[in-house]
Amino acid sequence: MSFDTRRNANDDNRTNVQQYVTFAPVALTSTATVQSVGQVLEVPQIWNNRDMYLHIENPHGAYSLYINGSLVARSTDTRTPMEFYISPYVNHGRNAIVIDVETSGEPLLSSSLAANPRAQFENSYIYSQPKLRIYDYDVRFEPDSTRTFGWLELDIIAGNSHNYTETMEVGYDLTDPAGKLQDYNMRECSIEGHSVDTVHFRMPIYKTNQWLWSQRTPHLYKLTMYSKLGQMMTDYIPIRLCFGDTRFDGERLLRNGKEFKIKAARYNAEKSRTQTLKDLRALKSRGVNTIYVDYPQVYWFYDQCEQVGLFVVDQANLNVERGRNDRTIGGTPSNDPTLVDEYVDRVRRMYRRNRNRTCIIAWSLGGNSGNGYAMYKAYQWLKAQGDERPIVYRDADGEWNSDWQLPATIE
């Protein structure tokens, strides 16, 4: 989500902004198989003529989302944060949001995971955004071919959900780890109704080598993107940027042009930021430089890894050991053609959510979940994105849908 002021953006203040409402549904009814929870949304007047979304985290089972009695979506992914566009279902005034959660525990494709320690729907919220705004972005901040300075390549995807063409400006500013402004730019774009346009920036950034991000020196630049309508700034999106690059040459993982030796531990974020940060620092003090996760983590986990100086191998939420050694069709879910869309969707959501994270040095298709047609298709989709970081999968067992064998953990 974007922020309404630069100050809220800088402070990561999501609770006291006008477009944010915490989603904390209460129990409504319960049967042997389904628990219904819900919350009334009183749409604030300031949200009129804005786009509304529901961000869901930590459901304790597969679920169906209803708004004012209409089915919005169903999901069986209990670990990857999800966002639903809810404006078509919401009326002015009071709205009933109901979620039916299956009580049978983790769904099939995450059945080998331990129970979620977080409260159900913790970190969930409803928010609104301007109809004319920054929808998405792609950013790379890497050395030039001679490794003497850096290139900032930024694609800002601006969108317009009005029924008519609108003109807006989008831009950014970049400050180095010492707080010095290094670059800024702004451009105008005209966007037809219900469409998007990509504004491309490519600028040289000098004196970057002194701020190279590494385990020993986790220097962080700050990039703030923003949009402007007339004389009014309408939204801000802040991110931290790590200068450097990760490549895979077919045999070796290269970080900033040099071979990188992984020393890994498996770890998933704890409930609190404080405890997670403490754990990450302790792992680093014991010689760990890379974290293997079991599923996509809460956004601040990656912030903390970049702050501490730890790399991450991100992993899609595909964790099903049932039948993993059965290579008949449907013997393992990973070889079930009817599950291809679900496999690809989980890998897609992992990648689209975290593709701009410099701390991520490889993509894992899933946990020990067997292999087969559905996993092949997930690999092919991810490979087609053109990312230079390797794709790994422990259960590929020498087959073609893994670029590299990850080193074992050291603890």
pLDDT per position as a tens digit, 355-377: 999 999 999 999 999 999 999 99
**CA distance readout (Å), 207 to 67, 150, 151, 175, 224:** 52, 8, 11, 12, 20
3-state secondary structure of 108: helix
Better-scored residue on pLDDT, 316 or 251: 316
171 vs 1: which has the higher pLDDT: 171
Q: Could you tell me if 176 and 211 are in contact, meaning their C-beta atoms sit under 8 angstroms apart?
A: yes
Q: What confidence score (pLDDT) does residue 285 get?
A: 97
The whole-number pLDDT of residue 9 equals 86
Is the confidence at residue 327, as pLDDT, over 90? no
Question: Rounded mean pLDDT of 199-214?
Answer: 96
Confidence of residue 226 (pLDDT cuts 50, 70, 90): very high
pLDDT of residue 16: 60
Query: Mind listing the pLDDT tens digit for each residue in 340-355?
Result: 999 999 999 999 999 9
Domains of the chain and CATH, by start = 6-129 (2.60.120.260), 132-241 (2.60.40.10), 249-396 (3.20.20.80)
What's the rounded Cα separation, in Å, for the pair 364 and 406? 9
Contact between 361 and 311 under an 8 Å Cβ cutoff? The reply is yes
pLDDT at 105: 80
Please determine, for residue 136, whether its predicted confidence score (pLDDT) is greater than 90.
yes
Segment 45-99, tens digit of pLDDT: 889 899 999 999 999 999 999 999 999 999 999 999 999 999 999 999 999 999 9
Q: pLDDT digits over 20-34, tens only? A: 899 999 999 999 999
* pTM of the predicted model as reported, rounded to 2 decimal places: 0.95
Question: What does the pLDDT read at residue 43?
Answer: 93
Q: With bands split at pLDDT 50, 70 and 90, how would you rate the model's confidence at 378? A: very high
Please enumerate in sequence order all residues whose Cβ is within 8 A of that of 1, keeping only pairs 6 or more positions apart, or say none: 14, 19, 20, 53, 55, 127, 129
Rounded distance between C-alpha atoms, residue 393 and residue 396, angstroms: 6
pLDDT exceeding 70 applies to what percent of the chain? 99
Taking the CA atoms of residue 50, residue 56, residue 57 and residue 61 in that order, the dihedral angle to the nearest 10 degrees is 180
